[in-house]
Amino acid sequence: MDWLERMNNALDYIENHLDEELDYKKIAQVAFCSEYHFSRMFSAISGISLSEYIRRRRLTLAAFEIQKSDIRIIDLAMKYGYDSADSFSRAFQKTLGLKPSDARNKGVQLKAFPRISFQISIKGDTEMEYRIENIDFELRIIGKSKLVKTGRAFKTIPTLWNSAKKDGFMQKLIDMSWENPKCTLESLLGVCGNEAAITEDEFAYFMGVRYDGEPPSDMETLIIPPSTWAVFPNIVEAWKRLYSEWVPTSGYELANLPCIECYYGPKHKPRHELWVPVIPK
């Protein structure tokens, strides 16, 4: 069973259990991968978080039921996992643009969010450059973490670094990096999430540097065990193509560790890289 079939089987499972409490671990098991990586792959390929997709699909089905039957709003709320009619109504209006009661009216215009299916577009004219790096020691990264909305990560993360440059935090990290060069990860680092599953609409983005000394009192410490990494130039492009093009055909599985965005100094080529933790299949 290939990667594409496993992902679509997981989507089938979601679709068949939208009116039940969905277990994210079970969804990932259907796809034969961890919660962490199923959620990350889903978000990267679809552009929305897994939880947001499930919410949109449930509300779309609820809208169909409202138009086709006289089911009570409270019963519909309970069916699709809401604690009250009020919370259901707020979510319904925010997502579909009108109140559930108004959706009963004939001729009213509603939004519908169709189910997703994954396909791979084969493009032989655009290669993906990468290399494999082995870091055989524990990575000790110091810095600060910020919460990032999953659906806005590509816009939010550059803003975080711009703010860090303005308030001096970036320069502080630069001054601490390269003090004791130990590997090719001597750069500004953006660690995406952690070992917990990214199933919510936001995740922790850790901005820091590899550092072996005593961290300043205003910084946190993140430890990443020895690992093997697939390294790609051009972070934005790598994120877009990683799960849909490289992973399915690489002979590697993703390790249950966070990906790391590396931003190098002015004379380094490439200027930035995406480090992805992997293990051989």
For 202-252, what is each residue's pLDDT tens digit? 778 999 999 888 888 999 999 999 999 999 998 888 887 787 778 777 888
The proportion of the chain whose per-residue pLDDT surpasses 90, expressed as a percent, equals 35
Query: Can you give the pLDDT at residue 197?
Result: 34
Q: Give the range of the structural domain holding residue 222, as residue numbers without chain letter.
A: 131-280
How many domains, the chain? 2
155 shares its domain with 269:
yes
- Alpha-carbon distance 4 to 119, whole Å? 7
144 shares its domain with 250:
yes
Token couple for 165: 């440059």
pLDDT per residue as tens digits for the range 123-173 = 555 677 899 999 999 999 999 998 887 667 778 888 999 999 999 999 999
User: Residue 201 sits in a domain of what CATH number?
Assistant: 3.20.80.10
Instruction: Let me know: does 50 contact 39? Beta carbons within 8 Å.
Output: yes
Query: Can you give the pLDDT at residue 151?
Result: 64
Does some domain include residue 266? yes
Number of Cα atoms under 13 Å in the Cβ half of residue 66: 26
- pTM (2 d.p.): 0.65
10 shares its domain with 76:
yes
Q: 272 forms bridges with which residues in the sheet?
A: 263
Burial tier of 155 (Cβ tally within 10 Å: 0-12, 13-18, 19+): exposed
Does some domain include residue 125? no
137 shares its domain with 99:
no
Contacts of 144 by beta carbon, 8 Å cutoff, 6+ apart: 169, 206, 207, 208, 218, 219, 220
